[in-house]
Structure 1
Amino acid sequence: MKAGHDITVVDNFFTGVKANVEHWIGHANFELIHQDIVNPLFVEVDEIYHLASPASPPHYMFNPVKTIKTNTIGTINMLGLAKRVGAKVLIASTSEVYGDPEVHPQPETYWGHVNPIGPRACYDEGKRVSETLSYAYAKHEKVSVRVARIFNTHGPRMHMNDGRVVSNFILQALRNEPITVYGSGKQTRSFQFVSDLVDGLIALMESNYTQPVNLGNPTEHTINEFAKIIKDLVGGESQIISKSAVEDDPQRRKPDITRAMTYLNWKPKVGLKEGLKMTINYFKEELRKSQNKTQ
């Protein structure tokens, strides 16, 4: 928007909220369409960022068939639109295509270790198929595609109750509730701040690089370390407690970002604690607003 582009946002608001874009409503360059991309979309565009799909386990497991449809039929609709209007299309894939990886850190050349019938399969396999579709359209229909494999991301405007590690831990700490760690807590994650991801997506779209690219922060922490970092940043009285492990929960997650650094000149700039402070401040404000509403 700030660079002068006309932007059309298409959302079915399954996990999004209008409040996240309300500051753009009424702007001359902005249009908002309330639609599900499982239904064909007819617009004139020259770039498509296909970001649609619930991405947190509680959301994508809530309606697994819907998740698969969004990543298959929805992706076909976006690739078909790109073909019709000659647009470049960026597919938001995920680190989940690597499953519970047997290679560490994960390079884009790794094919993954995914349970095709497990509770996470609707998302993992949905995204794997969306990548397959992208390269089929690129090869046979000459569609210009970019594929970003996005690792754990956090920041302001996250859905408060999306069930992800970041939002769970921050909300629990802010409410002085126990911070719940599932399994041993020794499983690892790598968290990037949302502004770094946006920069990476734009750099990928503007590049001529067509193979999948990992976008994530390679600084790795165990879930136990992460719980302690958030507890220390928030303060309060929360205790860290353990619960039984979640099925098919990946044990290690860390991107190899050599491709992004080489071909996009991209790497994360925002440190973990710096980004978490901004996310915590956002959550504090949202909690305050919701408390005011209920009073």
Structure 2
Amino acid sequence: MSKILVIAEHLGGKLNSSTARAVSAAAAIKGDAIDVLVLSDAPDAIAAEAAKIEGVSRVLTVTKPENAHPLAAVLAPQIAKAADGYSYVFAPSTTFGKDIAPRVAALLGVAQVSDVMTVEAAHTFKRPIYAGNAIITVEADANHTVVATIRTASWSAAASGANAAPVEALTIDVPLPTHTRFVKLNQGSSDRPDLQSAAKVVSGGRGVGSTENFDIIYKFADKIGAAVGASRAAVDAGYCPNEMQVGQTGKIIAPELYMAIGISGAIQHLTGIKDAGTIVAINKDGEAPIFEVADFGLVGDLFKIIPELEVALG
């Protein structure tokens, strides 16, 4: 019997959409059951959201005061214990999943499969390597539990609302480490759409020129109801905070529309947007690499083109 355990990502009492994307990957395994594990100090509301995801068989909850904050050192021993009897343990390939999955794999004594893009067979997966320049096919040992992170940009979120999976409480008795403790969470806040789940994203690069000039990116994004991103060069130059960074060392995203403004298109940036639906590039350098992947390209001064686009949009 092939069962898959998906680790729920959540924050502030709300389920992250990355969980539904991991469920989509789990469904591709065509196993016997997909269970979602919620670890929290108050999991009820989160579990109720998870229970609505199509394809989920059960939602399992572990309630402990220590689970109030997602500390990998604390959660991993509980996940490893809960994974007993499961053939697969999936987590989204986000900061949360990349932190937890390696610890779970180590505790289970198995090798981790990272950034699963497609499921080719029960134990065969495709994942990117060399900053997305190549795709490798990997085969996991069928005799051991497969611990994998799911590249969320490569999977659409499983539908939600029609399902009503049962919610069951688990009692897990494992010693929890005390050498790691939560101090505080420093998190950027914005009224704009979330960068990783937005349907439209407008990103600025080094070509924007300065922090003050980056206002043109914010205003245009607001005009079309888009999230705002940035290249690493723009972040390193101090034009915007690092939580806005898109690319190999930033956020991997797959919006329906991605607009790269003043971004040359280094391979590390292209890795983060390769799954976008439509890519629009605006750059004064007609030889910029970004134009090789763009569906639409405009060569010219962004400070002239953007105002013209705003006028055209009305």
Larger relative contact order, structure 1 or 2 (CA cutoff 8 Å, min sep 6) = 1
Which protein is richer in strand relative to its size?
Answer: 2
Structure of greater Rg: 2
Output the TM-score relative to the length of structure 2.
0.31
Which protein is richer in helix relative to its size?
Answer: 1
